Amino acid sequence: MTRPAIAARRVTTPGRPREWTVGLALGGLAVAGVLIEALLLARGSKLALFLLGAVAVGACGLLIADNLRTAFVAWVAVEGLAFPFIRYPLHHDVATFDRFAILAMGAALLLRSWESMTTRSRRLTIAFGAFALMYVLRAVLTHPLPLARGQPAYSSYQPVADAFDNVGLPFIVFLVAARTVTPARWPMMAKALAFLGTTIAAVAILEWALGFQLSTLSGYAPFIDPAAGVIRPSGPYPDPVIFGGVMLVCLAGTMYWMLAGKAYTLGAAALLVELLSIAAGLTKTVWVAAFVTVVIGLGLRRRISSRTLLVSLYSVVAVAAVYTVVQSSPVVASRVTGANAQDNWSGRVATWHEAISIFKKWPVFGPGIDQFIGAQAQVPQVRVAGIAAATSPHNLFLGVLAETGLVGALALLILVLMIIGIVRACRRRAKTEEDIVFGSLLLAVAVGYFFLSQTFGMLYTRPSSTFLALMLGAAAARVDYLGRSPVSRPPPS
């Protein structure tokens, strides 16, 4: 039996009206804050801009708190088109659309109460949060190493800014997705991902056809391949690898929309446009990751079956047919079988050897975030087949091991194990055909991202890691839903 509501009458002491006192106090603080802000702005203080941004983020979070799910879907849908345009200043990444929107959604997340997580999702959240905390603390405690001659200098705040972008923002997106992207909300998120993938794919195809680069609006240099003699398109992002990492998650969303929503015609068209843009990017590892993602997403359900074999066979035939047509192109030959491809591989192998040497020199905590290039100058130089090492780790795990030492590598290993656990839980607890499709697509994205991580330092390819966090958050939300008893499970909206 519910207790009847009792209206409580507020009693005020004569001569001491609490409402007026509190109102005057808040009004005085607001006036003082505006005056201080104006004074700081007049003096050109960076603190004033920081305070102004914090107030704007808090105000936006307050506005979207009751519609966080809708705001999250809207951010995903327009992220690609907003990435190069909505920023201040225009040719820099001080205040960007992603930073503002994600922080506002994080603020909105704090303004509401949420149901507790189940054990599997809680473990993933703790592992993700521990890795993010370790990474940010290591960035704060980083002392920049001297760079070799010819290397461009960077701000001492860059390690902290990179740590915030590389792991801080993805962790917030993971939490927002884990709380809002329930199985009932995932179809709408999949449509947003399909729209995002189609729009950025169209931009990349136009860049390839017309020869312009949208990333230059953000202050980034176009990705020029000197051996192939072309500028490799990357859509609105500064690098083809970033574009490829985002596209893996968009492929998953598009395939879900096509299969679960039975939108076979439009879904197949969108999927074809996305695959064409990935092919135009001329990045072999992205090609392999996309191929694996499509084969697993379309061909795997509960276990390997004849469906898996048939999809694999058809995919191999399609790739072979396309390669037969384009293999005579000098650009394709340079990327696939030419000396440039061999040199790239040799340079990466040399880089991996130097990463191990950096770990041996700084075994516990590493030299710090963004210190790989500086640390290379303090270890023996390595050449493989006469090719010198590259100036980036070109491997996610070796990059974390080299820059953060054994502590960071163990935190990353625990996070990877928890990711494997959430993928396994999603697939084992699947009860409907829709659950099975989602589990296959989650596995496809995880495997595809793993392939990318073997030859690229994926922590430095924002916002691709942010969209991987979105997928993991949606998986955590689904595991929570499937793990609760029917009595305590909230009805689908």
Residue-by-residue DSSP string for 115-177: PPPPHHHHHHHHHHHHHHHHHHHHHHT--PPPPPTTPPP--TTHHHHHHIIIIIHHHHHHHHH
Whole-prediction pTM: 0.87
pLDDT tens profile 203-217: 999 988 887 787 777
H or E element: which one contains 437? helix 433-455
26-40, 178-192, 209-223, 322-336: least confident range: 26-40
Residues forming a β-bridge with 293: none
Going by C-beta distance under 8 Å and a sequence separation of 6 or more, which residues neighbour residue 252?
190, 193, 293, 297, 441, 442, 444, 445, 471
- Averaged over 227-232, what is the pLDDT? 70
Whether residue 5 is predicted with pLDDT greater than 60 in this model: the reply is: no
Q: Determine phi and psi for 272, rounding to 5 degrees.
A: -65, -45
Tell me the CA distances in angstroms from 266 to 138, 269, 315, 421, one per residue in order.
46, 5, 20, 34
pLDDT tens profile 346-396: 888 999 999 999 999 999 999 999 899 889 889 999 888 888 888 888 899
What residue type is assigned to position 224 of the chain?
Answer: I
pLDDT tens profile 403-459: 999 999 999 999 999 999 999 999 999 999 999 999 999 999 999 999 999 988 888
What residue type is assigned to position 152 of the chain?
Answer: P
Whether residue 9 is predicted with pLDDT greater than 50 in this model: the reply is: no
Whether the Cβ atoms of residue 254 and residue 437 lie closer than 8 Å to each other? no
Whether residue 179 is predicted with pLDDT greater than 90 in this model: the reply is: yes
Which range has highest mean pLDDT (17-21, 31-35, 274-278)? 274-278
Which residue in 395, 412, 372, 394 sits closest to 142, CA to CA? 372
What residue type is assigned to position 239 of the chain?
Answer: D
Going by C-beta distance under 8 Å and a sequence separation of 6 or more, which residues neighbour residue 188?
73
As a whole number of angstroms, the distance between CA 122 and CA 18 comes to 43
Q: Biggest alpha carbon distance in the chain?
A: 92
Write the burial class of residue 488 (CB in 10 Å: 0-12 exposed, 13-18 middle, 19+ buried).
Answer: exposed
What residue type is assigned to position 160 of the chain?
Answer: V
Which residue in 197, 180, 219 sits closest to 70, CA to CA? 180
H or E element: which one contains 95? strand 95-96
Residues 457-467: b if buried by 16+ CB within 10 A, e if exposed = bbbbbbbbbbb
pLDDT tens profile 270-298: 999 999 999 888 888 899 999 999 999 99
Q: What are the E-state strand segments in 407-472?
A: none
In the three-class reduction of DSSP (H, G, I as helix; E, B as strand; rest coil), residue 388 is classed as strand
As a whole number of angstroms, the distance between CA 144 and CA 151 comes to 13
- In the chain, pLDDT over 70 holds for what percent of residues? 82
Whether the Cβ atoms of residue 124 and residue 84 lie closer than 8 Å to each other? no
What residue type is assigned to position 2 of the chain?
Answer: T
* Spans of all domains in the chain: 121-483
Q: Determine phi and psi for 383, rounding to 5 degrees.
A: -125, 140
What residue type is assigned to position 488 of the chain?
Answer: S
As a whole number of angstroms, the distance between CA 312 and CA 299 comes to 7
Whether the Cβ atoms of residue 351 and residue 401 lie closer than 8 Å to each other? no
pLDDT at position 174: 97
Which region holds residue 244: left if phi is over 0, alpha if psi is between -120 and 50, else beta? Answer: alpha
Query: Omega into 144 within 30° of 0, i.e. cis?
Result: no
Tokens (6 digits) for 27: 């009004």
As a whole number of angstroms, the distance between CA 446 and CA 450 comes to 6
- Averaged over 73-99, what is the pLDDT? 85
As a whole number of angstroms, the distance between CA 183 and CA 450 comes to 25
Tokens (6 digits) for 394: 């070109």
pLDDT at position 341: 60
Neighbours of 130 (CB within 10 A): 14
